[in-house]
């Protein structure tokens, strides 16, 4: 089970939100501004944040957002800080053309299109960072739990800066082992990007797996995301 991001079990209704605000919740204009985000299509997301008693915060969805307008969630101070940092990263990525998984990886990658030829050195460095013997990274789903714990320990932002290629390489190796696939390079795209090709599957994208886990709000779970990628890519015979 994943850790809940909100303190409420169910999303608060408009009436519940109104009652909390009427009970003396204080509008936090600084946090409200921090959570505003304008996307590439021009849509501006403008939620509201109120401070509650007990080191809690009320997040109210943008009044323009279909189906969610006026509804809300309650966050602990720590979880709200995570939400603010995530919003800041999303805002920066969109402003600088890094809204896609490949563009995001390419910006942070040190190996770039040379990643496919650097798999073993990257795995050696990852095992050293985890204080493991190289053999412990056995390309199994289970081994990804330890990699996820490393990311949780050092934080997603540090992992993004220091281990992006290592994570893409290892997730790709797990995908390759699981599907009996092989590494390929999409050299016709700009930028070029690595993927795993396997019979019975569409392209398997380790970059997508790592990007989604590093860029999301949930705790990192590379094992689940990698298994989902295998299922997503499986081609069903007609």
**Per residue in 37-81, pLDDT tens?**
877 677 888 999 999 999 999 999 998 888 999 999 999 998 898
Q: Which domain holds residue 176?
A: 101-233
Q: What is the pLDDT of residues 103-134, one digit of tens each?
A: 999 999 999 999 999 999 999 999 999 998 88
- Give the pLDDT of residue 74: 97
* pTM confidence score: 0.79
Per-residue pLDDT of 31-47, as tens digits, reads 999 999 877 677 888 99
Same domain, 225 and 110: yes
Strands (E), the chain: 26-27, 37-38, 44-45, 48-52, 56-60, 72-76, 182-186, 193-197
Whether 94 contacts 100, CB under 8 Å: no
Shared domain check, 229 and 138: yes
In this structure, what CATH number is given to the domain that contains residue 124? Answer: 1.20.120.1090
User: Percent of the chain at pLDDT above 70?
Assistant: 97
DSSP state of 234: B
């Amino acid at each position: 089970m994943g850790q809940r991001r909100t303190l409420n079990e169910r999303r608060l209704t408009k009436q519940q939100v109104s009652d909390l605000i009427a009970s003396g919740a204080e509008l936090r204009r600084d946090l409200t501004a921090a959570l505003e985000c304008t996307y590439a299509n021009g849509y501006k997301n403008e939620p509201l944040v109120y401070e509650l008693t007990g080191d809690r915060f009320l997040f109210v969805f943008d009044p323009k957002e279909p189906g969610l307008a006026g509804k809300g969630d309650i966050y602990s101070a720590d979880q709200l800080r995570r939400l603010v940092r995530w919003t800041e990263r999303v805002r920066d990525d969109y402003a600088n053309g890094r809204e896609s998984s490949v563009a995001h990886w390419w910006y942070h990658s040190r190996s770039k299109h040379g990643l496919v030829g650097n798999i073993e050195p990257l795995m050696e460095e990852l095992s050293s960072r985890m204080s493991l013997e190289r053999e412990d990274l056995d390309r199994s789903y289970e081994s990804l739990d330890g990699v996820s714990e490393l990311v949780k320990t050092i934080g997603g932002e540090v992992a993004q800066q220091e281990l992006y290629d290592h994570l893409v390489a290892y997730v790709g190796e797990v995908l390759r082992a699981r599907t009996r696939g092989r590494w390929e390079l999409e050299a016709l795209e700009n930028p070029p990007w690595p993927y795993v090709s396997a019979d019975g599957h569409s392209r398997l994208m380790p970059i997508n797996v790592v990007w989604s886990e590093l860029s999301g709000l949930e705790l990192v779970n590379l094992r689940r995301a990698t298994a989902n990628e295998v299922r997503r890519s499986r081609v069903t015979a007609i």
